[in-house]
Structure 1
Amino acid sequence: MTPDAFAEASSTAASGERRSLEPLRALIVDDDEFDRMTVKRMMLSAGFAVKAEECESAAAALRLLETEPFDLVLLDFNLNLPTYDGLYVVRQSRSRGVRVPVVVLTGQDNAEVAVELMKAGASDYLAKSSLSPARLGHALRSVLRIHRLEEEARAAHEALRASEELNHSVLAASADCIKILDVSGRLLSLSQAGQCMLEIEDLAAVVGTDWLDFWKDADRTAAAAALERARAGEPGRFVGHCPSMKGKSLWWDVVLTPIRGADGRPEKILCVSRDVTELKRRESFEQQLVGIVSHDLRNPLNAILVSADVLLRNGGLDERTTKSMNRIRSAGQRAARMIRDLLDFTRARLGGGIPIARAPADLASVCGHVIEEVALAWPDRKVVSTLPARLEACVDADRISQVLTNLLANALQYSPAGTDVTAALSEVGGSAVLDIHNQGAPIPADFLPKLFEPLQRAAATYDRASRSIGLGLYIVKQLVRAHSGSIEVISTAEAGTTFTVRLPLTGMA
């Protein structure tokens, strides 16, 4: 550009346009001092608050770019000819990892030069002959905006790469079997530990397959339910049996957690499976042992009870011996109840459920007999009943008697002496509703969620007379469930405690 042309541009630059308050640290590289001053004035006129550094040579420019932070470089193409030029500076700066946007200014409007500059990494190319504050401002704003977007994309890419490396490290370090599924349930990836545990030799053979195909029968149903929960945005969990690819028997505690996308919707599913085979093996052994012991104890116990009944019926015993035989019979009956509870517990925990035999029965009569028997066993307490004349239902009468016996015994055991326990039976909407109520201290709120779990007691004290092993309410729930019914409890200091059992009258849920 001629000195007259630049002088005219300088006059235009002094027009007093409103400047931006945004500071811009710029490096202006030109071997002509007047050209450097004019470029700076144009930037000010274009609305930039400029903090400029100036230099005259390629070596000085490269040294500053490697040591100082800049937002922008304005570079004269004809710099230090013939040895070095703007193209040399662009190539050298990019090869040294400098990512600052570079706008090249030249006195020649040459398309071939422009192409070479852009290939080398220049951000834009402007001819000095047509330069104006407006054109320069537009070009600089465009270059800075593109550079900002590129830096944001680069940062996002680096963050993603770091996240993927961290995820890979976590997957490699975890001893669990970790899978990533898509929302349809197809396998996307599998941790190295999971590949080893499942004895998968060719990972490519299973990637892309349906995760549900790993499960069979009831376990597949449980897996499908857990997967559906994860798809809906909630964690899903189940315990199931899934052998390795070579047939090794394995049990897994599986948790499926949704991985949400930017819109908050589940876009992938994290599946963490923990090997619980050894735990299952120990549980199975313990439950089988309890079942065997409980079953083998019944024969000698029955002999004791039969002998005690025979001796009491025959009479001829003195008072002291009669009392001893009654204690023997009472203790034997308690032991029989404990053995029955242990057997029921074993059946329930082994997965077969407690068996029931449905038949038409009068629930009112069943409940009446149970209440009479419980009242005899608790002569110092009163059970107040409200029963209909008849209530026909298709149930296992013996098992319903067991439910009511356990609930009444529980109510009597955990209520104050001198208070009544009430039992009410009614029909509501095609279901039999049985309410057992007692006064006394309420069940602690934090204990309610585990009230029906095995080996649990709400009270801190242990009633030696009952010899309870903490299975009564667990068995009650299993028996109610076997009848397709439900049980719930409400317990407050003001109203006392009420257990409510609902049973379908027809035997259908």
Structure 2
Amino acid sequence: MGFGVGLVGVSLAEILLRMSGRIPTGIPFWASVTTSAPFALYLMIGGYWLKRSDVPEVRYPRVLAITMTGMMFLGGFFTIIGVTFRQVGIVQTLSPIRWGLSVGGGSGLLLAFLNAQRIEKELASERELIRSAELEERRELLNYLNALLRHEVLNTANVIEGYATGLMESLDGDEKDNAATIRRQARELTVIIDDVRFLLRAAGENPSMEPTNLSRMLRDELTSLQDRHPEVDIDRDIPDEVYVAADLMLKRLLSNLLENAVEHNPDERPWVSAEVSVTDDTAAVRIEDNGPGVPETVQSDLFKPAQKWDDRHGLGLLIVKRLANRYDGRIELTETGPDGSVFTVELPLATT
């Protein structure tokens, strides 16, 4: 940048001297000025422009080296010409040197910039190839884990449940209770495995969104919830025909959200309210319960895989969070306390 300012200043000073009449001028001089001025201006603004380009700072020394090489090559060449064919007066002698420095430096900076951009594009292509390979390895690992859970762990849990059921029929007292505990835990393990497999599946595929009837799907899930938990009182406020941009996995989001509201509710009369409200571009699903609330110690990490709240409870909310992200939506704990909690999921409306 400093070289460019200096060369522009020299050109202006030379023009003023020649325009004053003290030094003769002519077509060669004006040709020299007009052809070198763009290069000098480029040198002057090049540093400012380079900092705002996509060229990283690690490339700056190389850009400077190429620029200086260009200046020294053409500048040195025309210095030899200026000295060898010395004209009358120092200004006439410096004109070719000024031209060589301007054109050499400007050309060098341009070539350096283009070279740096080419290198960055090549590196970006290499990073993309590496990323694609890593994604493919990750997809293969997810498929392997999914198959392992389905064929090995899930089968083992089913075997344990079957043997526990058989023991319950032949035992009495505490031993029967122990067998019942084994069966209950095996069933719980089956549910958890199913949730983990679902998360692996959701992470390993590309979603294909289409208009999905949120109203109908939520009503169906409330009916299923009532069938599974007939003791639960359910209130609903669901407008007709609300469509969101989603896929069939939306059913899993809603079922986990509703199950989360009743599964660990110790109230004698569990209660759930489902409400849908619509704005210009989103639909908000508000699920309220009368449970004991979410412990304050886990609220900040409620939707993170590492949170330590009840495992089954946490997996359900993790699924809801992942699916909300899948649909470019969001979920939040709107309210919580000893009288219950409110979870709200916002989803983008379908465009057609």
Structure with bigger gyration radius: 1
Kindly indicate which of the two structures has a greater share of residues assigned to strand.
Answer: 1
Give the TM-score taking structure 1 as reference length: 0.36
Length-normalised TM-score, structure 2: 0.50
Structure with greater contact order relative to length (CA < 8 Å, sep ≥ 6): 2
